[in-house]
Structure 1
Amino acid sequence: MYDRILLPTDGSEEATAVADVALEIAAAHDAAVHVLNVADTTRDSVTNVRGQIVDALVEEGERIVDDVGEQARNWGVTVQTAVLQGDPSPTIVDYAAEYDIDLVVMPTRGRRGLERVLLGSVTERVIASAPVPVLVCNPGSEFAFTYPSERVLVPTDGSDAANRALSAGIDVADATGATLHLLTVAETASLGPDVRSASTTERLTETAEETIEDARTRAADAGVDSLETAVRQGQPYQEIRSFIDDEDIDLVVLGTGEASDFGRFLWGGVTSKLVRSSPIPVLMARKRAR
């Protein structure tokens, strides 16, 4: 499933924790790991001075990737390291394209702005424009990682983004033998008391059942052996988080919108909340995983 995995790192605790995730996946697939540090030479403090500051950034980057490289060799994983100068997010995306990377693994936050989560970060911009899936990890106190995945969740609403997620989820289930869980939430929580009638709830539930049946048929036709479906009523984010706990899910697969509407799609709702807070890895798919 994966031959080349990209691990961008800034040497932060979060990036170091996520390194083990990338290396475990690489070891399972006999994949090579590309460890990349980007010396951010776009900052004012750097562009105004250059010289020794740039040298110091590159020197620090070499130390960071060497440390991860040694960690990779301890896993028995083939590793390639690089330190590049530039703007981190486009540099990471360009590297992924140039080296035909299959998967990018990143934390939700890193050294710059530890108290800030994904919004506005390098990870957000990589998700928005990377040509391949991005596995996002939030290595906090509740973070848990299992590989190969045993129970994969694809929440779906029938949208194009959800269909991209379904394609990626099918690929994961096929490669790992995981049970693929498909979930649709009939969003009854947003209904006001004056419209929350039995007939309205029934209509929303019927629509959700049609959506989940379409997804189930697609997954079954793709050859997924172990498949579970569910329809719940309520607030989508809460129901998905509850489902993760109830079913002991170990990977969530989500799809992004197109580049033009990514900000509106991702940060306006459920996906944003899940990526920020999920206690398990989230695989973000812009197109079909290779």
Structure 2
Amino acid sequence: MAKYRKILVAYDGSPSAQNALSLASQLAREDKSWIKVLAVVPPYLGDLELVGVSDIKETITGPGQKLLAEARQCADHEGVHILTNLEQGEPYEQIVHVAEEENCDLIVMGRRGKGKMERELMGSVTARVIGHTNKDVLVIPENGTLSWQNILLATDGSTCCDNALARALEIAQERSAKLNAVSVVYSNDEFYAVGQEIMKELYQDADKVLDKVRKWAGDLGVQTELFVRDGEPHQAITAMAAEISASLIVMGSHGRKGLTRLLMGSVTERVIGYADCPVLVCHL
């Protein structure tokens, strides 16, 4: 089933989070899903500035309670019922933990900022959530909308991308949507100057990757259009999305481990940072 049963929305009160909650509510109405809204506040670590405060718990959790009250107002406006959680701790850890404990199958997060640095890093919390969770993660730009009707799958033929392909086909089949797929050949001027044969082989490999998409889609009766592009992968993918007016980009996560989970700048993370439409990251 392509439809998500239980959705976790990470909420910090920002315009991007408000938009993420609004679009998650839209999805919940369409699919009759549950929504859990999570706000995370810092833990009390014995800060001397709080010495003398009569109600430390209220001082720390009060802002979080206000966020959840605001979220409930937004949900009421959208006509959906939500459940709420307030947790203390590191935001990405709590988001991952609550999604696991509550058996959510989708995490929805907003994406802030259009500055170069913000796009490159696309938000440390979001990057860490993607690196640590085994749930699908939907990242929505601050002014983004949500539609399933014109999907772009970015694939390199790896196992994680096969998982994203399976999810994209589920979505396209269940929602009668078209699936576009792109495989990117990494290239630069040096490749073209001295590596014509290498480039030819890389293009052939990309065609083989898309042959799998064609076969899987054909077995399910899903309409597809396939593209090979070259260049920097994240640039080629976002340019392709703009060219075809994609409503959603679907990508896989490579399941990083250890310290590499904390490193930003992967193709997936950069696509999230630069894309004008929502990005769905599928995990193994």
TM above 0.5, yes or no, is: yes
Report the counterpart of residue 86 of structure 2 in structure 1.
83
1:66-92 Cα shifts (integer Å, max 9, x gaps):
221122122221211121222222211
Mark the runs of 5 or more structure 1 residues left unpaired by the alignment.
Answer: none
Q: CA deviation at 1:193?
A: 4.9
SS of the equivalent of 2:130 reads: helix
Does structure 1 conserve the Cα–Cα contact (< 8 Å) formed by 2:132 and 2:261?
no
In structure 1, distance between residues paired with 2:145 and 2:154: 19
Give the aligned residue type for 1:73: D
Whether 2:34 is the aligned partner of 1:35: answer no
What is the deviation of 1:227? 1.5
Query: Residue type matched to 1:27 in 2?
Result: R
Partner amino acid, structure 1, of 2:188: A
SS of the aligned residue for 2:257 comes to helix
After TM superposition, the structure 1 stretch with the greater mean CA deviation from structure 2, 224-233 or 176-185, is 224-233
* CA distance in 1: counterparts of 2:215 and 2:263, whole angstroms: 27
Question: Given that residues 111 and 123 in structure 2 are in contact (C-alpha distance below 8 angstroms), is that contact kept between their aligned partners in structure 1?
Answer: no
1:64 aligned residue: 67
TM superposition shift of 1:253: 0.8
Find the counterpart in structure 1 of residue 24 from structure 2: 22
Which residue of 225, 228, 250 corresponds with 1:228? 225
Q: Residue 79 of structure 2: SS of its match in structure 1?
A: coil
2:241 corresponds to which residue? 244
Corresponding letter in the other structure for 1:145 = T
Q: Deviations over 1:229-260 (max 9, x none)?
A: 11223332222122111111010011111231
> What residue in structure 2 maps to residue 157 of structure 1?
156
Contact 2:131–2:262 (CA under 8 A) maintained in structure 1: no
Query: Which residue is 1:99 aligned to?
Result: 102
Tell whether 2:140 aligns with 1:137: yes
**Structure 2 unmatched ranges of 5 or more:** none
Q: Distance in 2 between matches of 1:73 and 1:23?
A: 10
Shift of 1:37: 0.8
In structure 2, distance between residues paired with 1:216 and 1:265:
35
Q: Is the 8 A contact 2:41 2:60 kept in 1?
A: yes
Report matched runs for 1:99-248 at 5 Å.
99-109=102-112, 116=118, 118=121, 121-139=124-142, 143-147=143-147, 149-189=148-188, 191-197=190-196, 199-221=197-219, 223-248=220-245
What displacement does 1:264 show?
A: 7.0
The residue identity in structure 1 corresponding to 2:156 is: D
Q: Is the 8 A contact 1:151 1:250 kept in 2?
A: yes
What is the percentage of aligned positions where both structures have the same residue? Answer: 28
Partner residue in 2 for 1:7? 9
Per the normalisation by structure 2, the TM-score is: 0.86
Query: Partners of 1:24 and 1:282 in 2: how far apart?
Result: 16
Amino acid at match of 1:201: M
Q: Residues of 2 paired with 1:43 and 1:249: CA distance? A: 46
How big is the alpha-carbon RMSD for the aligned residues of Structure 1 and Structure 2? 2.7
Answer whether contact 2:11 2:17 (CA < 8 A) is retained. Answer: yes
Cα pair distance change 1:224/1:64, threshold 3 Å: farther
Does the residue aligned with 2:180 lie in a helix, a strand or coil? strand
Q: Read off the aligned partner of 1:146 and give its amino acid letter.
A: L
Deviation larger for 246-255 or 11-20: 11-20
Structure-2 residue corresponding to 1:267: 264
- The 2-side partners of 1:231 and 1:262 are apart by 33
Change (3 A) 1:169 1:217: same
> Is the Cα contact below 8 Å between 1:184 and 1:211 reproduced in 2?
yes
Indicate conservation of the 8 Å contact 1:31/1:77, yes or no. Answer: no
Task: List per-residue Cα deviations over 1:174-229 (Å, max 9, x = no partner).
Answer: 232211111112223364454142x33322211111111022212333x1422211
Work out the CA distance in 2 between the residues paired with 1:237 and 1:190: 17
Tell me the secondary structure at the aligned position of residue 135 of structure 1.
strand
Cα distance in 1 between the residues matched to 2:151 and 2:190: 30
- Give 1:13 deviation, angstroms: 2.2
Describe the superposition over 1:127-148 as per-residue Cα deviations: whole angstroms up to 9, x where unpaired.
Answer: 1122310101221xxx43133x
> What is the CA distance between 1:101 and its match in structure 2?
0.7
